Amino acid sequence: MIISSHAEGEVPEGIAIFFPAVYDIIWSLVPFALIMVFFWKFVIPRVNTILDDRAAVIEGGIAKAESVQAEAAAALDEYNTQLAEGRAEAAKIREQARVEGQQILAELKEQAANEAARITANAHVQIEAERQAALVSLRAEIGSLAIDLASGVIGENLSDDAKSTAMVDRFLAELEASDSATASENTGR
């Protein structure tokens, strides 16, 4: 390639039409150098400062987001732990309530059985007392009737109380003895 300088008024020919003249290159390099120095000294440092500030803000935001995410994960773990503890506590309370309910039920059954036994014992005592009272009352009436009947049959007055009482007691004892023998024969069968 041949680069020739163009003289004033000369028209370039061939490939030279694509290359500017040397004075155009020199006069173009001076403003370019001034613009480059201006950008190098003022614009590029300012842009770098802005980019560094933005990078710091972004990194701070990322760090803050990571710390918030870590706190959220910790809170979730704590929540899950508390939830598990709550469920375990609820199960423990249910089991304790079930055991206490069974104990109360057993105590109530025992109290009911004791009360039933007491009532039954009192009823037996009362029945026995009423039987004894009826027996005493019947003895007196039977004795009186027997004496009246015997007086009517014999035709004598059996008013001697000691004799009549002894006779009535002996008669009732014989009657009870015969009833006891009959009852034991019936249960033996």
Q: pLDDT tens digits for 88-118? A: 999 999 999 999 999 999 999 999 999 999 9
Task: Assess if residue 183 is contained within a domain.
Answer: no
Task: Assess if residue 182 is contained within a domain.
Answer: no
Task: Assess if residue 8 is contained within a domain.
Answer: no
- Comparing 3-12, 53-62, 133-142, the range with the smallest average pLDDT is 3-12
Task: Assess if residue 10 is contained within a domain.
Answer: no
Task: Assess if residue 12 is contained within a domain.
Answer: no
Higher per-residue confidence, 188 vs 64: 64
Higher per-residue confidence, 179 vs 64: 64
pLDDT at 44 over 50: yes
- Comparing 27-31, 50-54, 141-145, 149-153, the range with the smallest average pLDDT is 149-153
The residue count of the chain comes to 189
Task: Assess if residue 14 is contained within a domain.
Answer: no
- pTM higher than the cut 0.75: no
Cα separation values, 6 from 9, 25, 181, Å: 8, 12, 168
Q: How many domains does the chain have?
A: 1
Measured CA to CA, the distance from residue 17 to residue 28 in angstroms comes to 18
Range of the domain at 167: 19-177
Return the closest-CA partner of residue 167 out of 157, 154, 158: 158
- Comparing 65-69, 70-74, 104-108, 184-188, the range with the smallest average pLDDT is 184-188
Look at residue 119 in the predicted model and tell me its pLDDT.
93
Task: Assess if residue 13 is contained within a domain.
Answer: no
What is the mean predicted confidence (pLDDT) over 3-17?
Answer: 67
Task: Assess if residue 145 is contained within a domain.
Answer: yes
pLDDT interval class at 35 (50, 70, 90): very high
Helix residue ranges, H only, the chain: 22-38, 44-154, 161-188
Measured CA to CA, the distance from residue 133 to residue 126 in angstroms comes to 10
